[in-house]
């Protein structure tokens, strides 16, 4: 673990920051020592970008303090414990229990899937945490393996990162029109912009249950469009490894939230499996508790979502299914309806989602923060073609969500190289990125990320700073050792970009974790149209050539809405 920037700092007169444990969209988590009580703690520090406006910085501070209040109010053995909240020099810090051990995502990456029994015990722990949170009106909204910590030696599962949680009746400190969460683990009703409740967290738990025994989400695809299609429209075909847990999986991954099993029923099924090794079926005619309330709350939600037949219950799916039969037994389709009509409605639901439904500001946004590929506004002729994410079904040519890829031509801009696409970003710029890269947003940057999460293209638009691009890059480089463990070979060079003064910062560093390994980063900043743009690519050192190619392509094709 790196100690850069930590070992000499003491906050609130008692918490000595010792080693960096991790870094996320809102800041850095440190291993620290409470020098008053003589115990180790974890301290989450909000790191604000100096280019943020005073109002933006204030909102981020309020959001972090809100997270602390939410977590402190949910007391459960499987929810991270908040010890203290301090503010020093206007910077908030959350002091939490330290969990020695990595996340479930780390476990799956290093050791592979767990057994069905282990997965059932894990999800039982998380069900308890969710029931405690839901009882206080708190929805987590981002349940995924990366947000589940596993304590070394005990394997105690701890739910963490309530940064985008929602409290019933509370005003959210998030961006208008944005969608938050991790798309592979997000419930279809959230994708479609419908009102959500505890059942949306239960869908995410069902996806996590599958991921624990297979190594990845059943909705994993190579593009955002593919993920959307899989979550909202594709037949759900649980892998054969999920067979022992099938009743719970089918009950939790019921696309209609009104028909999805609730926490009590999920707990009954998983507990029975842990105790007996066999999971019972969902009772015939099962209706989740308060289903009438669910229906009333979602009266305006898009209807006809695919899932179980209208006259079926989760118990209609066999409770014991062979591996061979699993591949032949997707979630049943609705009888007596034409698939074309349902597909059209689902396409509409996807359009609703892409048009900016939902709320929040975190890793993933759909429109007004979406990676969509609409042709840029221009009087010059352009050639476009459409692609459809591949469906796992066959025989019925029902339409899926359409992604438009733009091949510029006739306007003087470089042609998009093979394997790339133009991303017309909602932040007001466009650029070419590899086709499989997925958009994420961690304020104040927008990222386009490779499927293996190892290569990242980052773009930031801010107000110009005194001294221009060179001053901005020199300031960033001066902080390089603090923000980038193992920082070395850093250099800032004055250059130009499309005739405008620019500054290039290039450096090598060790990544935030030992597993991440040595990385190389290229970063160019320039001013255009009254804004300062910053484009960088970071990749493993062994993929330095690939990173340079993506960097050059991004800069060659970069355009600002209303300008070049």
Catalytic residues: 142
Neighbours of 301 (CB within 10 A): 19
Q: Among 55, 53, 44, which residue's Cα sits nearest to residue 91?
A: 44
Alpha carbon 430 to chain centroid distance?
22
DSSP, collapsed to helix, strand or coil, labels residue 470 as: helix
Token digits of residue 411: 């306007």
* Residue 200: DSSP 8-state: H
DSSP structure string for 284-335: TT---TTHHHHHHHTTTS----SSS-TT--GGGS-SS--HHHHTT-PSPPPT
Q: By the 8 A CB rule, do 521 and 507 touch?
A: yes
- Which residues on neighbouring strands pair with residue 241, listed in sequence order? none
How far apart are alpha carbons 133 and 220 in whole angstroms?
27
Tokens (6 digits) for 480:
């390089």
Listed residue (123, 288, 267, 294) closest to 206, CA to CA: 123
The reply to whether omega before 148 is within 30° of 0 (cis) is no
How far CA 483 is from CA of 3, 109, 476, 514, in Å, comes to: 11, 25, 9, 15
Name the β-bridge partners of 371: 425
- Asked if residue 426 lies in contact with residue 361, where contact means CB atoms within 8 angstroms, the answer is no
């Amino acid at each position: 673990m790196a100690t850069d920037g930590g070992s000499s700092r003491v906050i609130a007169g008692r918490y000595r920051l010792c080693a960096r444990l991790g870094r996320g969209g809102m800041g850095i988590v440190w291993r620290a020592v409470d020098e008053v009580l003589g115990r180790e703690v974890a301290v989450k520090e909000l790191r604000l970008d100096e280019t943020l406006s005073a109002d933006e910085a204030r909102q981020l501070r309020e959001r972090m303090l809100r997270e602390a209040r939410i977590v402190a109010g949910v007391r459960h053995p499987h929810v991270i414990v908040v010890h203290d909240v301090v503010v020093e020099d206007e910077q908030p810090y959350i002091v939490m229990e330290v969990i020695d051990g990595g996340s479930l995502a780390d476990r799956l990456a290093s050791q592979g899937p767990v057994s069905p029994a282990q997965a059932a015990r894990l999800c039982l722990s998380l069900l308890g945490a969710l029931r405690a949170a839901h009882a206080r009106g708190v929805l987590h909204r981002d349940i995924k393996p990366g947000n589940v910590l596993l304590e070394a030696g005990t394997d105690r599962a701890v739910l963490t990162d309530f940064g985008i949680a929602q409290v019933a009746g509370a005003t959210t400190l998030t961006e208008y029109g944005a969608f938050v969460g991790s798309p592979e683990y997000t419930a279809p009703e959230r994708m479609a912009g419908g009102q959500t409740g505890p059942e949306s967290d239960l869908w995410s738990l069902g996806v996590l249950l599958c991921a624990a025994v297979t190594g990845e989400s059943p909705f994993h695809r190579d593009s955002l469009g593919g993920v959307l299609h899989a979550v909202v429209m594709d037949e759900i075909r649980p892998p054969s490894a999920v067979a022992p847990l099938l009743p719970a999986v089918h009950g939790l991954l019921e696309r209609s939230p009104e028909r999805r099993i609730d926490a009590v029923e999920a707990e009954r099924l998983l507990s029975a499996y842990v105790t007996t090794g066999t999971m019972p079926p969902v009772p015939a005619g099962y209706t989740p508790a308060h289903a009438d309330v669910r229906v009333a709350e979602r009266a305006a939600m898009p209807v006809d979502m695919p899932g179980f037949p209208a006259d079926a219950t989760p118990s209609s799916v066999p409770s014991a299914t062979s591996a061979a039969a699993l591949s032949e037994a997707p979630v049943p389709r609705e009888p007596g309806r034409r698939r074309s009509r349902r597909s059209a409605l689902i396409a509409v639901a996807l359009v609703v989602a892409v048009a900016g439904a939902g709320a929040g500001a975190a890793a993933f946004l759909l429109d007004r923060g979406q990676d969509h590929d609409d042709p840029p506004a221009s009087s010059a002729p352009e050639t476009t073609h459409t692609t459809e994410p591949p469906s796992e079904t066959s025989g019925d040519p029902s339409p899926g969500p359409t992604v438009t890829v733009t091949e510029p031509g006739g306007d003087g801009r470089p042609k998009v190289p093979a394997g790339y696409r133009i991303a017309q970003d909602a932040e007001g710029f466009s650029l070419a990125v590899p086709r499989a890269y997925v958009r994420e947003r961690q304020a104040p940057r927008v990222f386009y990320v490779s499927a293996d999460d190892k290569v990242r293209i980052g773009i930031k638009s801010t107000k110009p700073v005194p001294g221009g691009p060179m001053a901005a890059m020199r300031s960033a480089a001066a902080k390089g050792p603090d923000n980038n463990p193992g920082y070395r070979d850093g250099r800032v060079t004055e250059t130009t970009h499309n005739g405008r003064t620019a500054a290039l910062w290039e450096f090598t560093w060790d990544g935030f974790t030992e597993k991440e390994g040595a990385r190389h980063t290229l970063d160019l900043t320039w001013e255009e149209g009254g804004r300062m743009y910053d484009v960088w690519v970071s990749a493993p050192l062994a993929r330095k050539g690939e990173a340079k190619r993506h960097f050059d392509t991004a800069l060659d094709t970069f355009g600002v809405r209303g300008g070049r």
